[in-house]
Amino acid sequence: MFKILKKEKLNEQVVLIVIDAPFIASKAEPGQFVILRVDELGERVPFTIEDYDREKGTISVIYQIVGASTMRLAQLEEGDSILDVAGPLGVATEYKSGAKRIAVVGGGVGCAIAYPQAKKLHSMGVQVDMIAGFRNKDLIILEKEMKAASSDLYICTDDGSYGYNGFVTNKLKELIEGGADYDEVIAIGPVPMMKFVCKVTEPYGIMTLVSLNPIMVDGTGMCGCCRVKVGGKIRYACVEGPDFDGHQVDFDELMRRNSTYKEHEKDHVCRLTGGVR
Mean pLDDT per 10-residue interval, the chain, length 277 residues: 94 93 95 91 88 95 88 94 93 88 95 92 95 95 95 96 95 96 95 95 96 81 83 89 93 82 57 50
Cα–Cα distance between 131 and 154 in angstroms, integer? 5
Q: Is residue 245 part of a domain?
A: no
If DSSP codes are grouped into helix, strand and coil, which group holds residue 92?
coil
What's the pTM?
0.86
pLDDT the model gives residue 277: 47
Q: Is residue 6 part of a domain?
A: yes
Q: How many structural domains comprise the chain? A: 1
Domain span at residue 73 reads 2-89
The domain that holds 48 is classified in CATH as 2.40.30.10
pLDDT the model gives residue 266: 58
Q: Is residue 172 part of a domain?
A: no
What distance lies between CA 67 and its chain's CA centroid? 17
Nearest to 46 by CA among 217, 251, 259: 217
pLDDT the model gives residue 272: 45
